[in-house]
């Protein structure tokens, strides 16, 4: 049991029809819920930390909580920086003991993205840490990186090949129609699977990463709506689309919004039913269980990753 890199888990996933869940973590209950689910499903696991999470929970707390979860469950974890905006934050995470970092240069012109990614790759690899980069723009808001949905552009397969060759990056986040948050599609959901297949064909040895991959589980949205403020128009990536994507080189599937919804639904319900309670354990406990149940479902039914630790 240890903190590990994604190298081995990706090389196995690349040759099989499953993907590793990469779940965003912000506090103890989220970490516990996710790691306990991975333990029960015997699944390979990535926990990822955004700049916002670093600011909210602080790195020593997050890294120590992840270490504690590894000790408690025996689950191996890759600890990953999500959407690193510049070289400095990536370097800091490498120095803080993360085993994987993402440099997100997707909003820069191609050559600038390459130069920035290469700089991070050189530093991270010298310390045994792996790097994810992004090419193409997702619609929506990415942490510190704001993307106008009107200017969203999908990943170009030829550029992806050149990008991977020139940067030496370990995995590549691509844009094929997903976006961050709970409002992914206005009409019928659409992912560009032809483009995904082309990218996978042209860089078959590069693990691909799908950001904005929450399915926005209707049960949680309905529960949030039933017990408080409306979340109108919420729509995620259909489960069968994720299952299809993992057959074509997608090895890492990023999930944050579904965690937020699971927790919020449970806590809203709790307070409607127990308006007089004020012990945080009474509502954070069920919220943690909801995260665990949701993550087990993802690993089993959406990522096809049950048992992936021993594959």
Please tell me whether residue 137 binds Zn ion under the rule CB under 5 A: no
Query: How many residues can be counted in the chain?
Result: 311
Please tell me whether residue 83 binds ligand G3H under the rule CB under 6 A: yes
Pick the closer one to ligand 13P by CB: 189 or 285.
Answer: 189
Please tell me whether residue 256 binds ligand G3H under the rule CB under 6 A: yes
- Catalytic site residue from 82, 104, 156, 256: 82
Task: Choose one: 9-17, 47-55, 114-122, 223-231; the region binding ligand G3H (CB under 6 A).
Answer: 47-55
* Residue 192 is a catalytic residue: no
CB of 10 to ligand 13P, least distance (A): 17
Pick the closer one to Zn ion by CB: 152 or 284.
Answer: 152
Binding mask 47-66 for Zn ion (x = CB under 5 A): --------------------
CA distance 181 to 258: 9
Pick the closer one to ligand 13P by CB: 26 or 206.
Answer: 26
**Which residues are near ligand 13P by CB under 6 A?**
24, 82-83, 180-181, 211-214, 254-257
Q: What 3 state SS string does the chain have?
A: CCECCCHHHHHHHHCCCCCEEEEECCCHHHHHHHHHHHHHHCCCEEEEECHHHHHHHCHHHHHHHHHHHHHHHCCCEEEEEEEECCHHHHHHHHHCCCCEEEECCCCCCHHHHHHHHHHHHHHHHHCCCEEEEEECCCEEEECCEEECHHHCCCCCHHHHHHHHHHHCCCEEEECCCCECCCECCCCCCCCCHHHHHHHHHHCCCCCEEECCCCCCCHHHHHHHHHCCCCCCCCECCCHHHHHHHCCCCEEEEEECHHHHHHHHHHHHHHHHHCCCCCCHHHHHHHHHHHHHHHHHHHHHHHCCCCCHHHC
Query: With the C-alpha atoms ordered 75, 101, 89, 242, is the resulting torsion angle positive or negative?
Result: negative
Which does residue 52 bind out of ligand 13P, Zn ion, ligand G3H, none, counting CB within 5 to 8 angstroms by kind? Answer: ligand G3H
Pick the closer one to ligand G3H by CB: 83 or 292.
Answer: 83
CA distance 148 to 158: 24
CB of 22 to Zn ion, least distance (A): 9
Please tell me whether residue 252 binds ligand G3H under the rule CB under 6 A: no
CB of 143 to ligand G3H, least distance (A): 4
CA distance 49 to 186: 28
**Closest of 96, 26, 18 to residue 55, by C-alpha:** 26
Which does residue 213 bind out of ligand 13P, ligand G3H, Zn ion, none, counting CB within 5 to 8 angstroms by kind? Answer: ligand 13P
Pick the closer one to Zn ion by CB: 102 or 265.
Answer: 102
Please tell me whether residue 180 binds ligand G3H under the rule CB under 6 A: yes
Pick the closer one to ligand G3H by CB: 96 or 143.
Answer: 143
Please tell me whether residue 142 binds ligand G3H under the rule CB under 6 A: yes
Binding mask 205-224 for Zn ion (x = CB under 5 A): ------x-------------
Residue 266 near residue 286 (C-beta atoms within 8 A) = yes
CB of 137 to Zn ion, least distance (A): 12
CB of 85 to ligand G3H, least distance (A): 10
Site residues (vs ligand G3H, CB under 6 A): 24, 50, 52-53, 82-83, 142-143, 180, 256
Catalytic residues: 82
């Amino acid at each position: 049991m240890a903190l590990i890199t994604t190298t081995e888990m990706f090389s196995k996933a690349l040759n099989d029809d499953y993907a590793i869940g990469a779940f965003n973590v912000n506090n103890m209950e989220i970490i516990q819920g996710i790691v306990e689910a991975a333990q029960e499903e015997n699944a390979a696991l990535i926990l990822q930390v955004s700049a916002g999470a670093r600011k909210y929970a602080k790195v020593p707390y997050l890294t120590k909580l992840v270490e504690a979860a590894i000790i408690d469950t025996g689950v191996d974890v890759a600890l990953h920086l999500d959407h690193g905006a510049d070289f400095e934050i990536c370097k800091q995470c490498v120095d803080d003991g993360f085993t994987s970092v993402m440099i997100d240069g997707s909003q820069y012109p191609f050559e600038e993205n390459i130069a920035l990614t290469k700089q991070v790759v050189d530093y991270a690899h010298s310390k045994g840490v792996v790097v994810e980069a992004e090419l193409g723009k997702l619609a929506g808001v990415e942490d510190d990186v704001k993307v106008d949905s009107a200017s969203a552009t999908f990943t170009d397969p030829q550029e992806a090949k050149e990008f991977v060759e020139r940067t030496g990056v370990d995995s590549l986040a691509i844009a094929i129609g997903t976006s961050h948050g709970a409002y992914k599609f206005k009409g019928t959901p659409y992912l560009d699977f032809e483009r995904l297949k082309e990218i996978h064909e042209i860089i078959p040895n590069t693990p691909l990463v799908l950001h904005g991959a929450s399915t926005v589980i209707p049960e949680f949205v309905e529960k949030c709506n039933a017990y408080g403020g409306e979340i109108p128009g919420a729509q995620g990536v259909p489960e069968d689309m994720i299952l299809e994507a993992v057959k074509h080189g997608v090895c890492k599937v990023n999930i944050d919004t579904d965690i937020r919804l699971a927790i919020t639904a449970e806590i809203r319900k709790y307070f409607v039913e127990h308006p007089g309670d004020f012990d945080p354990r009474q509502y954070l406990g069920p919220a943690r269980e909801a995260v665990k149940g949701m993550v087990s479902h993802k690993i089993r039914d959406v990522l096809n990753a049950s048992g992936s630790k021993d594959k």
